[in-house]
Amino acid sequence: MNFQRDHFVNNTCMVFRDRMLAYLILMVSLILFFNCIFDRTAIPELFRSESINSKIKNDGTNCPFGNPLATDPKRYGKIHIIHREGYTLGHSSKYRMAIWVCEEILSEELLGKATRRNHFKPEPLLSKGERAELSDYKNSGYDRGHLAAADNYRSDQRLNDESFYLSNVVPQDHSFNAGIWKKLEEQIRSWVKRYNRVIVITVPVYIDDKNQFPRFIEKNNDLTVPNHFFKILVRDENGSTLLLAFLAKHKKATNISLESFLTTVDLAEEHTQLNFLPNIPDVDESLEATVGVYWP
């Protein structure tokens, strides 16, 4: 009698165990299945956030004076804010490209063995139709020019790789990209090594002085080629804020000193209708109207 009871109990336990195991396998399979087929870029617009966050929580480090703000909301259409550990950017769905990129560059980030793997890829946090695609650049004659430079992230391969998202890229003439633009990026890294920390805001300008679109990639007439680029640099020196703003026309430039590109933050804001340092202290606001002294 005890044998039959024990046998029944054992059989019941085995059946229960097998069913629970089957349920567990089914749940894991379903999770993996939906994880593979679910396309995060297909989220209905109703449920999409104006601010899109990656796994790295943004703490304001990349934009310590606040994210740049559009003073004319219609100019850029819907703007998505994308936060990454290395940079924060504002992306225009109208242009399908970034309108600004903020970085906090530290001297230790420039040291390391991370390499450029040149693996460009579409922005995974944006839907097709509001982002640039690899096909937009194919046989276009333009470089995929970085806004936040890959060489700013030598200490971490992941951060270096993340600089190759097309949201951090705009069409650039090769002579410009490999010329004056590269020279400016290298000078900024030299300053970072000297001063340990520099905030950099990089700004492509898509509209010329007459509010006309100057150039398009020929086979894709809604991907605009910037006609100018601004870089705004901010650093601290003994408790004082120092600003430099550079304006470079998107063309080949040789034998020209970077100092000749100095301008004011106010001019950058006028041409882009963006407020780049919305939270700068009142005592420092006058700096935006002044051409800074070229740093040693």
Q: Is 177 annotated as a binding residue?
A: yes
Separation CA 33–CA 14 (nearest Å): 28
Told to judge if 146 belongs to the known catalytic residues of this protein, a careful annotator would answer yes
| Identity of the residue numbered 244 | L
The residue from 146, 228, 250, 271 that is catalytic is 146
- Count CA atoms closer than 13 A to 288's CA, side-chain side: 19
DSSP string, 10-49: HHHHHHHHHHHHHHHHHHHHHHHHHHHH--GGG--GGG--
- Tokens for 43? 């989220």
Burial of 19 (0-12, 13-18, 19+ CB in 10 A): exposed
Residues shown for the chain: 296
- Which two tokens mark 118? 């040149």
Between CA 206 and CA 226 the distance in angstroms is 4
Q: How far apart are CA 244 and CA 229, in angstroms?
A: 14
Q: Which residues are annotated as a binding site?
A: 177
Tell me the binding residues for Mg(2+): 177
The catalytic residue positions are 146
